[in-house]
């Protein structure tokens, strides 16, 4: 099929441009000298403009239409045509100059956000955030929507996602998870974590621990690397070059370890994609909800299990011999599963994590809908934290400035974190059915069977199916919060002896 081969060749060029953009964006976050910020904005704007021009070439539209009318396409070919149509239709709705403007602004805003967070000064970021909101509203208007402007942005990160779908999801979690949190708080049996709080945890040892765990899980450092950044993330152009970051705090070793495990989950997904589908849309990871399922799986459902703690304890003792003296598996397991309302999303426990996402989701709905403006945001943030979690940030760095997403223009992204939690629980429940020795395998550090299961059921399937179809194929059931509620309820009962 000449038309199909021509379409793939054009899509490869577009993907290569995107890969180059990803690399210099990674450099901006990790290595770029401060004085290069203005130049980097120009570079990224050119990459976005050039990629957009190639994607909106009328010839691509002709090829897609021709292929849509042909019979006999296999699953991969149909997926490539479907995904190309989705990208083409979205791109042709966005003027090239608007895409260039968004890229320039994104680069500037990430710099001002970093400075504002470091200085605990919202005013440094205020104008760039206002511009980001303005651009997000305009983007939604260009893309179009049926009910709410915010729906157009949600759909960018998880195809078909709408407020109508998300609202009941969060309502269901509140009904089932909030009572668990209240029960734990009412019980008042906080585990003793003084051995964490009363010690200093050197960064060099944290780096050693994080690297060892990531390698044991299955991340190939011959095809990737680990670095430090203000906000942990995973990037890189293809399975041969996957890059992730974490951050370090010498008063808290859990942040770097579980941040590393989270990004390792993303990284193993990227490294596990089918190589015969390089540069093809069908070979890409399947949406952010599915991507988050892999990171949350390794970070929480494996990493915070008692079996994992039993395997990891000797590593802890090797990296921190003095701090870990007298600490056993039970103490470690209880400490990494402390249920307690906190200010920082990326460091939140499994029980309260989705409340952090709900806050951001509700704020984004109001911002994009015009119900609040940027100047209202810091106080609205603090008030919602008090309402949802009963705590209030003492400063802006621990409050409204903690996440990088809005500086990147990523409005509509946050709900995919909750989808990831739900998908992860559902996938692990299905994997356990196929891996009856799962617990003993984790206890001895044999992570390969679980990774192989994910490779087969998720990573190698790319984007051939829609996200919900992929979850149903892998687990036998359509996406549901039920597995997550079962998982969390069982764990809280074991840890705290309480039920909702």
Question: pLDDT digit of tens for each residue in the chain (500 aa)?
Answer: 799 999 999 999 999 999 999 999 999 989 999 999 999 999 999 999 999 999 999 999 999 999 999 999 999 999 999 999 999 999 999 998 999 999 999 989 999 999 999 999 999 999 999 999 999 999 999 999 999 999 999 999 988 889 998 888 888 888 888 888 888 888 888 899 999 999 999 999 999 999 999 999 999 999 999 999 988 899 878 999 999 999 999 999 999 999 999 999 999 999 999 999 999 999 999 989 999 999 999 999 999 999 999 999 999 999 999 999 999 999 999 999 999 999 999 888 999 999 999 999 999 999 999 999 999 999 999 999 998 888 999 999 999 999 999 999 999 999 999 999 999 999 999 999 999 999 999 999 999 999 999 999 999 999 999 998 999 999 999 888 889 999 999 999 999 988 76
- Beta-carbon contacts of 18 under 8 Å, excluding residues fewer than 6 positions away, are 51, 237
Q: Name the token pair of 205.
A: 């040892």
Round to whole Å and give the CA distance between 111 and 217: 33
Asked if 418 contacts 357 with a C-beta cutoff of 8 angstroms, the reply is yes
Q: What are phi and psi of 238, to 5 degrees?
A: -160, 180
Single out the catalytic residue among 263, 292, 299, 331. Answer: 263
In this structure, the dihedral spanned by the alpha carbons of residues 86, 90, 96 and 101, taken in order and rounded to 10 degrees, is -120
What is the number of alpha carbons within 13 Å of residue 324 lying toward its C-beta? 17
Round to whole Å and give the CA distance between 317 and 327: 9
Decide if 318 is catalytic: no
pTM equals 0.89
Round to whole Å and give the CA distance between 422 and 296: 9
Asked if 367 contacts 412 with a C-beta cutoff of 8 angstroms, the reply is no
Residue spans of the domains in the chain: they are 2-144, 163-496
Using left for φ > 0, alpha for ψ between -120 and 50, and beta otherwise, residue 219 falls in beta
For domain 163-496, the question of CATH label 3.90.220.20 is answered with no
Asked if 398 contacts 267 with a C-beta cutoff of 8 angstroms, the reply is no
Round to whole Å and give the CA distance between 26 and 205: 25
HEC profile for 286-336?
CHHHHHHHHHHHHHHHHCCCHHHHHHHHHHHHHHCCCCCCCCCHHHHHHHH
- Rounded alpha-carbon distances, angstroms, from residue 192 to 195, 198, 314, 329, 346: 8, 11, 20, 13, 22
Query: 3-state DSSP helix/strand/coil percent for the chain, to nearest 5?
Result: 70, 5, 25
């Amino acid at each position: 099929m000449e038309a199909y081969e021509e379409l793939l060749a054009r899509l490869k060029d577009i993907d290569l441009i995107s890969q180059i953009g990803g690399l210099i964006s990674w450099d901006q976050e990790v290595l770029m000298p401060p004085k290069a910020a203005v130049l980097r904005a120009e570079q990224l704007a050119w990459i976005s403009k050039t990629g957009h021009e190639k994607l909106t070439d009328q010839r691509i539209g002709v090829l897609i239409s021709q292929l849509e009318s042909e019979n006999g396409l296999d699953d991969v070919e149909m997926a490539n045509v479907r995904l190309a149509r989705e990208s083409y239709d979205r791109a042709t709705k966005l003027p090239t100059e608007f895409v260039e403007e968004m890229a320039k602004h994104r680069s500037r805003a990430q710099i001002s956000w970093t400075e504002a967070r470091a200085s605990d000064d919202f005013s440094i970021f205020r104008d760039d955030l206002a511009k980001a909101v303005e651009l997000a509203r305009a983007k939604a208007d260009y893309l179009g929507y049926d009910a709410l402007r915010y729906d157009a942005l949600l759909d960018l990160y998880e195809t078909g996602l709408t407020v109508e779908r998300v609202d009941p999801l969060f309502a269901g979690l509140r009904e089932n998870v909030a009572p668990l949190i209240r029960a734990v708080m009412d019980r008042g049996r906080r585990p003793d974590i003084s051995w964490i709080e009363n010690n200093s945890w050197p960064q060099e040892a944290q780096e050693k621990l994080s690297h060892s765990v990531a390698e044991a899980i299955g991340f190939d450092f011959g095809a990737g690397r680990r670095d430090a950044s203000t906000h942990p993330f995973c990037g890189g152009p293809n399975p041969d070059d996957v890059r992730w970051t974490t951050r370090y705090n010498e008063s808290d070793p859990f942040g770097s370890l579980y941040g590393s495990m989270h990004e390792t989950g993303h990284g193993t997904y990227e490294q596990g994609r089918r190589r015969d589908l390089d540069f093809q849309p069908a070979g890409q990871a399947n949406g952010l909800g599915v991507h988050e399922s892999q990171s949350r799986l390794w970070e929480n459902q494996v990493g915070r299990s008692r079996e994992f703690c039993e395997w990891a304890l000797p590593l802890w003792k090797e990296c921190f011999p003095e701090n870990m003296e007298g600490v056993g598996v039970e103490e470690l397991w209880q400490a990494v599963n402390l249920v307690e309302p906190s200010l920082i999303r990326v460091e939140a426990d499994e029980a309260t994590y989705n409340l952090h996402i709900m806050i951001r989701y509700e704020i984004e709905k109001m911002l994009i809908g015009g119900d609040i403006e940027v100047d209202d945001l810091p106080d609205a943030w603090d008030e919602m934290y008090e309402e949802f979690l009963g705590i209030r940030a003492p400063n802006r760095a621990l409050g409204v400035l903690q996440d990088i997403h809005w500086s990147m223009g990523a409005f509509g992204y946050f709900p995919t974190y909750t989808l990831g939690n739900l998908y992860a629980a559902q996938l692990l429940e299905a994997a356990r059915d196929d891996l009856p020795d799962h617990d003993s395998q984790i206890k001895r550090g044999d992570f390969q069977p679980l990774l192989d299961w994910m490779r087969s059921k998720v990573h190698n399937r790319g984007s051939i199916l829609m996200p919900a179809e992929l979850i149903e194929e892998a687990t036998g059931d359509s996406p549901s919060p039920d597995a997550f509620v079962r998982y969390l309820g069982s764990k809280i009962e074991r840890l705290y002896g309480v039920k909702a």
